[in-house]
């Protein structure tokens, strides 16, 4: 009887240890992708006001752009249709003295700065709405030098365009 109790205790402890190490992962799919147009000259200098492209790109395949968020935004895996494994973004601490990411754009709140192996030398700032209906990536070639803005959303409404908000690289020196 004592051996049975010991075996049961060992089995319970093994299960508890195995479950404790599992990461909390959430996944959201986005079928609409809006791009921001940032007018630039030959040398890359911003030459005009940014605008959102008129219509969002619609992903018509069976699978939408998916973002797997690990723990509390420690890392984010983006998987696009036709991509088996996706791209992993890992949170990083940018120790820039003269630049800090904007804390929010309308309903989108800053969740962190990330790097990814497939984007060598670039940083990505991620923003999400509280209900995760929209997720935005801002790409930087170095802290503060905006290289592009992509908004992923679950419905056809671009919440930033609707609110008249653009991400202007000139606002973040």
Instruction: Assess contact for 100 and 112: CB atoms under 8 A.
Output: no
| pLDDT at residue 13 tops 90 | no
SS3 118: helix
What's residue 2's pLDDT? 59
Phi, psi for 5 (deg, rounded to 5): -65, -40
Predicted TM-score of the model (pTM)? 0.82
| Per-residue pLDDT reduced to its tens digit, 41-72 | 988 888 999 999 998 999 988 888 899 999 88
156 contacts: CB under 8 Å, gap ≥ 6: 32, 56, 58
- Enumerate the β-bridge partners of residue 92: 113
| Per-residue pLDDT reduced to its tens digit, 93-115 | 988 787 888 999 999 999 999 99
What's residue 23's pLDDT? 60
For every residue of 71-90, DSSP letters joined together read TTTTEEEEE-TT-SS-EEEE
Structure token pair of residue 155: 């419905």
Structure token pair of residue 120: 């060598």
């Amino acid at each position: 009887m004592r051996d049975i109790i010991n075996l049961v205790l060992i089995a319970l402890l093994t299960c508890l240890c195995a479950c404790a190490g599992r990461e909390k992962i959430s996944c959201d799919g986005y079928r609409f992708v809006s791009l921001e147009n940032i007018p630039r000259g030959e040398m890359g200098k911003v030459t005009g006001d940014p605008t959102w492209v008129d219509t969002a790109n619609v992903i018509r395949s069976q699978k939408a752009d998916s973002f797997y968020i690990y723990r509390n935004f420690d890392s984010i895996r983006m998987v696009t249709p036709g991509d088996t494994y996706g791209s992993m973004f890992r949170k990083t601490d940018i120790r820039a003295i003269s630049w800090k990411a904007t804390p929010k754009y309308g309903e989108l709140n800053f969740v962190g700065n990330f790097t990814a192996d497939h984007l060598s030398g670039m940083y990505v700032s991620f923003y999400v709405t509280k209900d995760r209906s929209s997720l935005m990536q801002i790409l930087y070639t170095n802290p503060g030098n905006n290289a592009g803005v992509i908004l992923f959303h679950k419905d056809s409404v671009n919440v930033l365009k609707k609110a008249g908000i653009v991400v202007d690289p000139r606002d973040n020196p």
